């Protein structure tokens, strides 16, 4: 009995030691969000940047927009960005004060979040929800006024007595799955306000979302730290005979274990020829001896995605040709990372773009089997913005600014050699340069081969 108790104590002690590491700072299954005051400040800024000459109306996703019976609910990104509300069927109405003079600052008159009344029978299936009549609804939602969704039409009609212009989402966001949702919501709004003039505030919101707040960067950082751990697990999981889906599942388990609520995007684990397919996500092939394995996998924390790619040799050692191509991609990435700073352009075929720096490196180092330069095998952009969407809104003609979070991800894909290499790291632009958020994750050939078991 004493021996059993001693062993049990050792197990508990070991677990407690692990629990004291930084990893436990990522609370499992918790939905962390920025302070509610931050969302209010965004609403005020949006109103001011559009001039305060109209109402602001925005709809949250409904259960049926997500297929919530099979996948977790995910909010309309702009709705969440302005409200921090992550429950279905919400509505937002912002009404500006009528300006009393030409130089008066734009101010909010009404700031209303509409949410569904509580359905206690449904809550037996889906859990308790905040209702508009709950005494703490305003405090918990971060709005001065919270009302039932059934009151939205009457409140809208009252506001239209003063303003005839409505700012809302007129066009769907790229890669958001909103191609049906936005037209349907716009149609609903036009039926409620047939005489109103409609304006799209998406461009304004996109500009706002390009520069991240400190709270947003903190959430991206947490998503990234958990995703780094998933990639470290993959260093041991990738081997000949393993299945691509097996590696993807191990990685998903790890970042969700550390607090991520979902993958930031469908995991990509492509081996052999699949390493040359950019968005291959079937993950259905068995990894073979001699394969390269491209793993583009990361989680989302508090709604904010990370994005990381590493390329590993299935056998634990690169062949001479694999090493040659890998080190060219790494050299291109290092050249771009050295140049990242405020004022630089991400670019693509521009005079100062980071893309051109990486492309020129690839095109002047190494040859294909026909003796031609390798630039033709770098077939995608070098970078994109990260945030609520893995490809967050961004204007490539906009110079980089402090607070922007972007990827640096050159790649070479040679199908006739079954050889694809991509290395993707995440950086936040600082006042003087950039911080590499993924710096803990090995990148060099030597680091990777040292950490991978010999096969």
For the residues of 430-450, what is the DSSP string, one character each? -SSSEEETTTTS--SHHHHHH
Model pLDDT for residues 366-379, shown as the tens digit of each residue = 999 999 999 999 99
**What are the b/e assignments for 221-237, b being 16+ CB within 10 Å?**
bbbbbbbbbbbbbbbeb
Q: Supply the pTM of this predicted model.
A: 0.91
**Strand 165-168 to 197-200 pairing:** parallel
Q: To which CATH superfamily is domain 36-209 assigned?
A: Creatinase/prolidase N-terminal domain (3.40.350.10)
Q: Per-residue pLDDT averaged across 396-416, rounded?
A: 96
Task: Count CB neighbours of 305 within 10 A.
Answer: 26
Residue 420's H or E segment, with its range, is strand 419-422
Share of the chain above pLDDT 70, in %: 91
Is it the case that residue 8 has pLDDT exceeding 90? no
pLDDT confidence bin for 22, thresholds 50/70/90: very low
Domain ranges, ordered by start, for the chain = 36-209, 214-451
Over 60: is that where the pLDDT of 24 sits?
Answer: no
Q: What is the pLDDT of residue 93?
A: 98
Domain 214-451 has CATH 3.90.230.10: yes
The two most distant CA atoms of the chain are separated, in Å, by 84
Residue 38 contacts residue 215 (beta carbons within 8 Å): yes
* pLDDT tens, residue by residue, 132-174: 999 999 999 999 999 999 999 999 999 999 999 999 999 887 7
CA distances in angstroms from 380 to 268, 275, 355, 428, listed in the order given: 16, 14, 9, 21
Contact of 396 with 296, CB cutoff 8 Å: no
């Amino acid at each position: 009995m004493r021996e059993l108790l001693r062993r049990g104590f050792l197990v508990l002690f070991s677990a407690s030691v692990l629990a004291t590491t930084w990893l436990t700072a990522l609370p499992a299954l918790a939905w962390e969000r920025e302070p509610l005051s931050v969302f209010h400040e965004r609403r005020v800024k949006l109103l001011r940047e559009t001039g305060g000459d109209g109402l602001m109306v925005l709809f949250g996703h409904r259960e049926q927009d997500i297929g919530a019976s099979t996948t977790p609910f995910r909010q309309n990104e702009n709705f969440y960005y302005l409200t921090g509300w992550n429950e279905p069927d919400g509505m937002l109405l912002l009404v500006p004060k009528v300006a009393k003079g030409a130089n008066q600052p734009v101010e909010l008159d009404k700031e209303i979040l509409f949410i569904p009344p509580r359905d206690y029978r449904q809550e037996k299936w889906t859990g308790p929800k905040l209702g508009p009549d709950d005494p703490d609804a305003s405090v918990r939602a971060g709005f001065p006024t919270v009302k039932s969704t059934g009151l939205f039409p009457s409140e809208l009609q009252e506001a239209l007595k003063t303003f005839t212009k409505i700012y809302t989402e007129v066009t769907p966001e790229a890669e958001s799955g909103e191609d049906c949702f936005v037209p349907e919501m716009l149609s609903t709004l036009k039926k409620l306000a047939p005489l109103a003039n409609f304006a799209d505030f998406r461009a304004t919101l996109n500009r706002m979302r390009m520069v991240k707040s400190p709270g947003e960067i903190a959430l991206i950082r947490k998503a990234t730290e958990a995703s780094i751990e998933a990639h470290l697990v993959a260093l041991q999981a990738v081997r000949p005979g393993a299945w691509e889906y097996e590696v993807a599942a191990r990685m998903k388990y790890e970042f969700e274990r550390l607090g991520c609520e979902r993958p930031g995007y469908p995991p990509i684990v492509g081996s052999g020829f699949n390493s040359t397919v950019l968005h291959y996500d079937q993950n259905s092939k068995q990894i073979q001896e001699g394969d390269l394995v491209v793993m583009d996998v990361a989680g989302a924390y508090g709604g904010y995605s990370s994005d990381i790619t590493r390329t590993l040799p299935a056998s634990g050692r690169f062949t001479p040709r694999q090493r040659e191509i890998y080190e060219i991609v790494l050299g291109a990435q290092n050249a771009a990372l050295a140049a990242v700073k405020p004022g630089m352009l991400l670019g693509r075929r521009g005079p100062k773009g980071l893309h051109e720096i990486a492309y020129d490196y690839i095109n002047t180092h190494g040859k294909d089997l026909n003796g031609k330069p390798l630039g033709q095998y770098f077939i995608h952009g070098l970078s994109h913005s990260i945030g609520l969407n893995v490809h967050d809104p961004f204007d490539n003609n906009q110079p980089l600014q402090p607070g922007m979070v972007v990827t640096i991800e050159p790649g070479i894909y040679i199908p006739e050699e079954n050889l694809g290499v991509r290395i993707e790291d995440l950086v936040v632009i600082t006042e003087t340069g950039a911080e590499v958020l993924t710096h803990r994750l090995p990148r060099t050939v030597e680091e990777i081969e040292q950490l991978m078991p010999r096969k």
